[in-house]
């Protein structure tokens, strides 16, 4: 029975119980529960005074269309194994989102292996996510170092560069000041910045090491931020210069921006991909998400759309209006020229549909191809990429 189930913000004692529960649920310690205690909203479910579920929520901004959109990023959700199957996770997610929505979140992002369960609650994956691995020898042979200065450590101009470059994609977190310190300590990262003499940073990367399966070590890259092709090539050449000790350079899932720099430059195409569970996006506040997102300044359009759940009869009609880089979406009585499920709308919002064919094959309905093509063009001037993990 759920009449003895309550939800609340966790104090220090309940955080400790939640930490122990998460370790039992995941099968390993979840370090972020301790590391993010002072930064995250921590919620737990209690049954008869005992913690039976919990999770973290970060209120931060994510870039979409070049604008910072308030987002509820959920992490470390766990349910006691003996409670699974009772739909407690659904109630726990609702209670975790509620305080973040009250503080302004209009979208939400998660990364979960339970993709089907997340889809049922309205999240959808805009793009597949891969980790990439390449021989350090191949990098050394394929990329020239160039004339950039290389210095150890991060500086304010390097962090500012990262925020500037992040705006060029849909999805990256507008990292708070504490973010780099947290991830550096958590993952034992070493950072290097690249610049032309006397100029601010043109790029930077961070990586850690892990023991190779056979001998030596591998590099694992967590950040890769380059402002131009020459800088990107110099950064890859720098990683290749570790070939005397590292057999392989691995780009952690989502760490390498989705441009084909490796494919176009490697002398031997031996880069390998490792598919990972994708990040998933959900629209919490339809009007707020559309209003706060960035939009192309040269578009002026009005299109009626329908958005609803998978079940029949659940759609609601809206008029989507874009003008001079701003947008709004309001209820209307007009039949939709395009019909989305909640998840499909999230994919469109993230720029995940790169063509008319991609949207149609995903199941998006359109009365005419022209309306859907226009909508796709409105949202895909930037590609989806989420290099951050939480």
User: What are the strands, taking DSSP E only, across 236-371?
Assistant: 246-251, 272-276, 279-283, 300-308, 316-323, 326-331, 338-341, 365-366
Residue 56: pLDDT above 90? yes
361-375 per-position pLDDT tens digit: 999 999 999 999 999
Would you state the pLDDT for residue 262? 86
Would you state the pLDDT for residue 4? 83
Would you state the pLDDT for residue 120? 87
Would you state the pLDDT for residue 32? 87
Non-local (6+) Cβ contacts of 234 within 8 A are 143, 144, 145, 146, 148, 150, 194, 203
> How many Å apart are CA 314 and CA 308, to the nearest integer?
5
Q: For 151-157, what is the mean pLDDT?
A: 96
> How many Å apart are CA 109 and CA 127, to the nearest integer?
13
Kindly report the average pLDDT of the chain as a whole number: 93
Q: For 164-178, what is the mean pLDDT?
A: 96
What's the pTM value of the predicted model, to 2 decimals?
0.94
111-149 per-position pLDDT tens digit: 988 888 889 889 999 999 999 999 999 999 999 888 899
Percentage of the chain exceeding pLDDT 90: 78
- Confidence grade of residue 390 (pLDDT, cut at 50, 70, 90): confident
> How many Å apart are CA 336 and CA 303, to the nearest integer?
8
Q: What is the DSSP string of 157-187?
A: HHHHHHHHHHTTSBS-B---TTHHHHHHHHH
Residue 2: pLDDT above 80? no
Residue 310: pLDDT above 70? no
Q: For 274-293, what is the mean pLDDT?
A: 96
334-368 per-position pLDDT tens digit: 999 999 999 999 999 999 999 999 999 999 999 99
């Amino acid at each position: 029975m759920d009449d003895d189930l309550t939800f609340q913000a966790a104090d220090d004692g309940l955080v400790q119980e939640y930490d122990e529960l998460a370790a039992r649920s995941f099968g390993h310690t979840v370090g972020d529960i301790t590391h993010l205690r002072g930064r995250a909203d921590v919620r737990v479910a209690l049954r008869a005074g005992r913690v039976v579920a919990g999770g973290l929520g970060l209120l931060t901004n994510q870039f979409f269309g070049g604008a910072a959109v308030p987002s509820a990023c959920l992490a470390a959700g766990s349910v006691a194994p003996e409670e699974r199957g009772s739909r407690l996770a659904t109630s726990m997610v609702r209670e975790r989102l509620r305080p973040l929505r009250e503080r302004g979140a209009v979208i939400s992002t998660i990364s979960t292996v339970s993709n089907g369960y997340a889809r049922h609650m309205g999240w959808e994956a805009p793009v597949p996510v891969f980790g990439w691995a390449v021989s350090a020898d191949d990098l050394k042979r394929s990329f020239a170092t160039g004339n950039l200065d290389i210095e150890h450590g991060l500086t304010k101009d390097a962090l500012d560069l990262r925020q500037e470059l992040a705006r060029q994609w849909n999805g990256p977190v507008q990292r708070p000041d504490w973010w780099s310190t947290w991830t550096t300590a958590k993952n034992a990262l070493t950072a290097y910045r690249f610049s032309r003499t006397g100029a601010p940073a043109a790029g930077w990367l961070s990586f850690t090491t892990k023991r190779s399966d056979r001998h030596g070590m591998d590099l694992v890259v967590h950040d890769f931020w380059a402002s131009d092709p020459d800088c990107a090539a110099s950064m890859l050449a720098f990683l290749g210069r570790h070939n005397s000790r590292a057999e392989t350079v691995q780009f952690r899932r989502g760490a390498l921006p989705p441009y084909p720099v490796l494919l176009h430059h490697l002398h031997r195409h031996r880069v390998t991909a490792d598919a990972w569970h994708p990040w998933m996006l959900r629209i919490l506040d339809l009007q707020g998400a559309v209003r706060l997102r960035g939009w192309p300044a040269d578009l002026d359009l009005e299109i009626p759309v329908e958005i609803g759940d998978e079940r029949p009869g659940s759609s609601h009609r809206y008029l989507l209006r874009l003008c001079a880089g701003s947008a709004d979406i309001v209820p209307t009585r007009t039949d939709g020229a395009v019909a989305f499920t909640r998840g499909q709308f999230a994919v469109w919002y993230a720029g995940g549909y790169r063509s008319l064919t991609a949207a149609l094959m995903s199941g998006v309905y359109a009365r005419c191809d022209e309306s859907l093509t226009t909508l796709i063009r409105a949202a895909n001037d930037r590609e989806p990429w989420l290099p951050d993990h939480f």
